[in-house]
């Protein structure tokens, strides 16, 4: 298991969302650097990765559970998607910087939520997520694995 996989394994679902927002910001900065360098291929790659993250976040929204909050996030993702497309099409660093500012604001809100003990308890109750005792060791409440053996 790589360092990155171990780090992700120990995150709660909200921390994973924060990590995805960090990825969007990182790729948007890469796109800006590519525009400034005149590197069209790198700009397209960075924008595509940003859009991939947006589409993943959009696909994970639960409108039946999230209600108005999920709808607001859906509209936010659509707006950022449009800014990215326009920024890439026009090679506009201003549009991409606008997207970064918006993503950063919402990321900060998710960061606050990720540290809220009430939210973490709600996640524990409503999902299969459990805080990891250690990324490399099974959670103490997990069932012991069977020791089946086989031979060829």
pLDDT > 70 fraction of the chain, expressed in percent and rounded: 76
pLDDT tops 50 at residue 59: yes
* CB environment 23-58: b (16+ within 10 A), e (fewer): ebbebbebbbebbeeeeeeebeebbebbbebbeebe
pTM, entire model: 0.76
Task: Give the C-alpha distances (Å, rounded to integers) separating 111 from 13, 56, 106, 116, 137.
Answer: 11, 19, 9, 9, 26
Residue 4: per-residue pLDDT: 63
> Cα–Cα distance between 129 and 69 in angstroms, integer?
21
Across residues 135-151, what is the average pLDDT? 40
Residue 150: per-residue pLDDT: 38
Across residues 16-35, what is the average pLDDT? 97
Fold that domain 9-126 belongs to in CATH: 1.20.120
Ordered by start, the domain boundaries in the chain are: 9-126
142 DSSP 8-state letter: S
pLDDT tens readout for residues 68-95? 988 999 999 999 999 999 999 999 999 9
Q: For the chain, how long is the longest CA-to-CA vector?
A: 63
Asked if residue 18 lies in contact with residue 34, where contact means CB atoms within 8 angstroms, the answer is: no
**Stretch (H or E) spanning 2:** none
Angle 93-114/13-37 helices, nearest 10 degrees? 160
């Amino acid at each position: 298991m790589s360092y990155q996989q171990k780090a992700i394994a120990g995150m709660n679902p909200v921390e994973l969302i924060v990590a995805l927002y960090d990825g969007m910001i990182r790729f948007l900065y890469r796109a800006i650097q590519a525009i400034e360098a005149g590197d069209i291929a790198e700009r397209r790659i960075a924008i595509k990765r940003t859009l991939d993250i947006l589409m993943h976040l959009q696909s994970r929204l639960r409108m039946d559970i999230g209600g108005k909050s999920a709808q607001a996030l859906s509209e936010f993702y659509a707006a950022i998607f449009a800014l990215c497309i326009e920024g890439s099409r026009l090679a506009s660093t201003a549009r991409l910087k606008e997207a970064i500012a918006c993503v950063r604001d919402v990321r900060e809100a998710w960061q606050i939520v990720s540290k809220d003990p009430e939210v973490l308890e709600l996640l524990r109750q409503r999902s299969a997520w459990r805080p990891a005792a250690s990324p490399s060791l099974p959670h103490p409440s997990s069932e012991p694995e069977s020791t089946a053996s086989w031979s060829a």
